[in-house]
Every structure is written in structure tokens, then in C-alpha cells.
Structure 1
């Protein structure tokens, strides 16, 4: 095997290694989705019934609150989150600069007379510069999400706030669509109908996506992500 063949194989191996790194980077650019375990409903803890007094009207742990509303306040309680998400953002910029410079040197004289060729000065020097720049940019984005999802209280924090989470799946023909939400709410913000708007959920994480044939058709392939990545030479 001669030196040229060795160098050719080395270059081919290097090109394949660079391509593999680019493909891995393009595939890893897709954001990781949360697992379903993060949004499973929380069940209330059930205390063991040690009192087996079956002959009495009153039983411990089975009291009824006649004068307290049924708003969510404990782990496992159900609350409805009304999705009222709408964002509008726009940005524009414009820049213009200009610069003009002129430098001239007087005609050089020799022994009191200008240096000429056929009567035309040949040692006259002058420099001029003119620069102009103009740039414009604009960006507009709008998002809207409406609907409702019922979730459960997963944790009661020490300050009284409630951590909620939940998901809703809908199967339609060739695919599935789901809405997931989790965050922290204040009991004071819960309405009389045991509902709260989504803009009052702190640290809210709302996901609306789908799975199936329709979702796969709307997603970009790995080769397309490669050409859209920062490693693309085009």
C-alpha cells in the first residue's frame, strides 16, 4: 500500500467521523420531553382504620364538613385549570451610519516650480473615502392556547401553596393529542367553582403536543435537522 492510498483512507475516515458527530449533534438538538410519570395524578394518603367500632353512629376519619367549601386544599384533591394563554411579541430595529473623508496634498514644487509632464502636475496626491451602512430587522411572534384541564394536588407546601400536576389525552383517528401542566398555585386564587386560570399558576409548565402518524408527518427528519444546525456548512 503506497503513501497516497494511506492518506486517502485517513481522509475518508476523518470525513466519516466528522459526519457522525454532526449527525449526533443534529439528533440531540431535539428537546427532551417530560415523561408521563411527572404528570401522574396524586392519590391522597389513607390512614389505617384502627377503630373498629361498628356499633356507633360516629366513626373516626369519616367526618363530614357541612359548612366548608369543597375547594382543593389537600393532596389528591381535584382542581380545574382554565387555559388562558396568549402572548404577543414584536421587535424592530433600524441602523444607519455614514462616514466621508477627504485628504489632499498640495502640489509638490522643485526649485520653486511645480513638477509637471507636458504641463500636467505629476506629484499631486489626494485620498477620499465614503462609507455607508444601512440595516433593518423585525420579528413578530404570537401564541394562543385556550381550554381546560383538571389536575390533582400533588403536594402541600409549608407556606400553604399547592403543587398541582396532571395531563389529558385525546385519541383522534391516526394519532393522540395530550395536554400536560404542572406548577404551584395559591388557595386564595381558587374560585368558587374550584377552578383557577392558568396565568395564576406559578412556575407553570404547559405542554401541548401529540403522537402518531400526524405528529410524525409534521416533525423534521434527522437530515433536515442536520442542515438547520450550526454545523451545517450551507
Structure 2
């Protein structure tokens, strides 16, 4: 009990810190990225053609510059299963026959003097874990950086307000231009270093969370 009282301020501070990290809409980190001014720069060649703004006549309109938008198709499905079991058994048995003397059993208070002992131990443990996740949908993201090798760094989010809560999807990662289809889409498994976050805020999301005291009893800090 004394230990719990000492840890109470720490737990309260931790709860306050976690509440300050809740996701918010219009996060500056996920703000849209706009391209530079489209005004045609003056070049000494005397031509109106510029390579940095040119689009080949027979090419598809794919995202390839900062500020362009690419649609990411969420096709995520994971499944993991693990099982383990062990069994330990041990037993021992010891018996001493009645003691005899002069051809008859040695008795104490009319009972033969003998000894018998036996014990056994049997321990069986098993564990089975099965987890699966699935996520599908689409989200559009901005190109925020073009790397030296031509790969595109993309980032975007989508917020949906439903009844008393908000649901959001966020994604960041690196996309190869070759993986972008003619419809300007790319599947999420082809996004390198992808960070996909799907969660919610509000009353419904808070009802699925456990309290800080329950977290303490389920943590390694609980000594029992």
C-alpha cells in the first residue's frame, strides 16, 4: 500500500502526459504541401520551353513533383499465430518392509514397524495466441519531397467525423514512381518505410481504453 501511494503521483503525471499526446485535426505536420509558384522563369536560351515544368506528350499524369497528389490504396492484411506447450512429470516411491526379529515382526503398541513414502508432481502448461488485422480503403497523400534517385516521400491524412467521435487515417512513406499506376494510384504494400495509423478520438474511442490504475495492475511494476 505504501508503494502504491508513492507511485500515485508518477502515475497521475503519466496519465496527464498521455492525454496531451492525443491526435488532433489540422496537425501542422500533416498540413498540405503546395508547389512553388508556377510562373515561367526567364532563361537565357530565348526559348519558352522549360525542362522542370515539362510533361511528355505521351506520358501519364502521375505524381512526380512536390505538391502533387497520389492516391494510396490500403490493402493491409496480417495474421500471426503462435502456440507452445510443455509438460513435466516426476514421481518417487519408497517402501520399507516391516522389521523382523527372532522370526517375527517388530511391533510397537501392537503395530508392525514399517515405512512407506511416495510423491508425484505433474505440471502442464500451454499457450495459444492468434492475432489478425485487416485494413482496406483509399487515402490521398501529398508529395513532400523528391529524393535524389527519383523516389517520392509522401504524407497525408484523412479525418471523418461520425456521431460523437472522429476517426482518422494517417500515412507516411516512400514511393517509387515506377509503382504508381496510370490512374495515379499505388498500393500500400509498395510504400517503403510505411507508417499507417488508423484510430479515433472521442467518447467511443475513450470507452475502449482502460484506466491508469488498471494499466498499473497489468504492468511489470505490480509486484504480485
Structure 1: segments with no counterpart, 5+ residues: 1-10
Separation in 2, partners of 1:44, 1:180: 21
- Give runs of aligned pairs for residues 213-224 of structure 1, distance below 5 A: 213-224=203-214
Tell me how far apart the structure 2 counterparts of residues 104 and 29 of structure 1 sit (CA, whole Å). Answer: 64
Aligned to 1:88: 79
Aligned residues: 220
**Greater CA drift, 92-101 or 198-207:** 92-101
Asked if residue 97 in structure 1 is aligned to residue 66 in structure 2, the reply is: no
Superposed, 1:131-146 pairs within 5 Å as 131-146=121-136
For the 8 Å contact 1:81–1:149, the answer to whether it is kept is yes
Give the alignment's TM-score, normalised by structure 2.
0.76
Partner of 1:66: 57
**Equivalences for 1:4-43 in 2 at 5 Å?**
16-25=5-14, 32=21, 36-43=27-34
2:151 is matched with which residue? 161
Alignment check: 8 A CA contact 1:149 1:168 kept: yes
| Unaligned segments of structure 2, at least 5 residues | none
CA deviation map 1:158-197 (0-9, x unaligned): 3332211101122234332211101112222211211111
Structure 2: distance between partners of 1:91 and 1:31: 36
Name the Cα RMSD after superposition. 3.6
Distance in 2 between residues matched to 1:32 and 1:160, nearest whole Å? 34
- The separation in 2 between residues aligned to 1:137 and 1:39, in whole angstroms, is 42
Deviation at 1:209, TM superposition (A): 1.9
Shift of the alpha carbon at 1:29?
A: 6.8
**In structure 1, what is the Cα distance between the partners aligned to 2:145 and 2:127?**
46
Distance change >3 Å, CA 226–CA 50, structure 1 → 2 = same
Q: How does 1:38-53 map to 2 (within 5 A)?
A: 38-46=29-37, 49-51=40-42
The residue that corresponds to 1:175 in the other structure is 165
Structure 1 residues 62 and 188, CA gap change in structure 2 (3 angstroms) = closer
CA distance in 1, matches of 2:22, 2:172: 14
